[in-house]
Amino acid sequence: MNIKIPNQNPHGLNKNLIFNIQNNPQKIPLKVEIVRADDNSKIGAKVYSPAENIEVATTGYLTPYLQVNPIKQEQQFIILSQNRAFPVKIKTSEILTNGDVVEIYSDEVMVAASKENIEFNTVMNAQNEFFAPIAKIDNAEIALLSDGTTIIETELVFIHKNEISTWTKTLTMDKPHKGVVIFNLNMPIIATEMYTQNIKLEDYDEIKCNIYNKTESKTIEQYSIPIANRRKNSTRLCWKNRLGAIDYYTFPYMKRRLTKIDKDKVQTANGGRITKATVEKIIEIQSDFETKLAINQIAEVANATNVWIAEGNIYTPVVVLDSEITIEEDKCTFLELKISLSQEEQFVA
């Protein structure tokens, strides 16, 4: 029996991390434990029925153990994150007919990245097919898993609306780092830098993003991020996806804002008396019309364990209460969310 480490060609950090257990000749149940490779601490376990081929997805086990927060605007362009991913391995235990216990470990593997390759995640880029627009006042990030031997460079080429000029910003790691390295697209700081050179960000409508492996002088990936203007009542959300990266999307439509008040009332000799009032602030927002692929990626916010409203350098935790996807003519779709803006405020008499 052998354990095959995951496919090393996923796009981004939010690809399912799947181990493959092959050739179980005894045809007996297997107990599988997921452990951290750096300290051997147990993350989760599961028992599988006998089979020739067993796939073990570890994503669900990892989510609660990744302590992730969005990047604040006042931080630098390049940031190290120690808690967004870590090396994992799995251990299987099978009980033979003679009572012996046989344990087999997989090779150590960094979450969603091999030791030979560098994989990346960018704004709403799980399959490298959809890129959420970014505005002048927004913040976003490009998160890469590095093997610790490579210097990575990100070149941002701003394309003029009339294609008459370009402006380039280059972000380079100072030295190799192993683990998650984040390139922070801090648009307010970039806009200020452009302004000092008599350049207006408003005159540009696209960012060509080129990621390079400087150590080996080769291109890792190339893609574009649209630059858009924010609507007056838009709401920008960011959330932790399944493997610890932060995704962003600006919901352009505010459908409704309401305050929900529940009161507890008791009857006394002197009439009714309020003993407690609970106040909850709720907003209902809607995405733009997007392709089904884009909506599927954005809809992950409904199941995310951590969601924030991003306003400048302030990140406010919120709770997604309800979501609904509407399909129009089988081509374009939009997502509606109902969000609780704050923890319930209780006033007790």
Per-residue pLDDT reduced to its tens digit, 276-328 = 777 778 889 999 888 887 887 788 888 887 899 988 778 888 989 888 777 66
5 vs 227 pLDDT, higher one: 227
Identify the DSSP state of 77: S
Distance separating alpha carbons of residues 246 and 119, to the nearest angstrom? 15
What's the token pair of residue 4? 């095959």
Residue 39 and residue 141 in one domain? no
Residue 277 and residue 329 in one domain? yes
Q: What is the pLDDT of residue 139?
A: 86
pLDDT digits (tens, 9 = 90+) for 165-179: 899 999 998 888 877
If you search the block for the tokens 């990621």, which residue do you land on? 211
**Residue from 126, 54, 59 nearest 88 by CA:** 59
Residue 102 and residue 46 in one domain? yes
Q: What is the pLDDT of residue 251?
A: 93
Is 341 part of any domain? yes
Of 198, 229, 260, which one is at a domain's C-terminal end?
Answer: 229
Is 49 part of any domain? yes
Which amino acid is present at 269?
A: A
Residue 220 and residue 276 in one domain? no
Is 242 part of any domain? no
Number of structural domains found in the chain: 3
**What is the average pLDDT value for the chain, to the nearest integer?**
77
In the beta sheet, which residues pair with residue 20? 4, 55
Q: What is the pLDDT of residue 128?
A: 46
pLDDT of residue 265 exceeding 70: yes
What is the residue range of 256's domain? 251-348
Distance separating alpha carbons of residues 166 and 156, to the nearest angstrom? 10
Distance separating alpha carbons of residues 180 and 245, to the nearest angstrom? 9
What's the token pair of residue 190? 């970039």
Distance separating alpha carbons of residues 299 and 304, to the nearest angstrom? 9
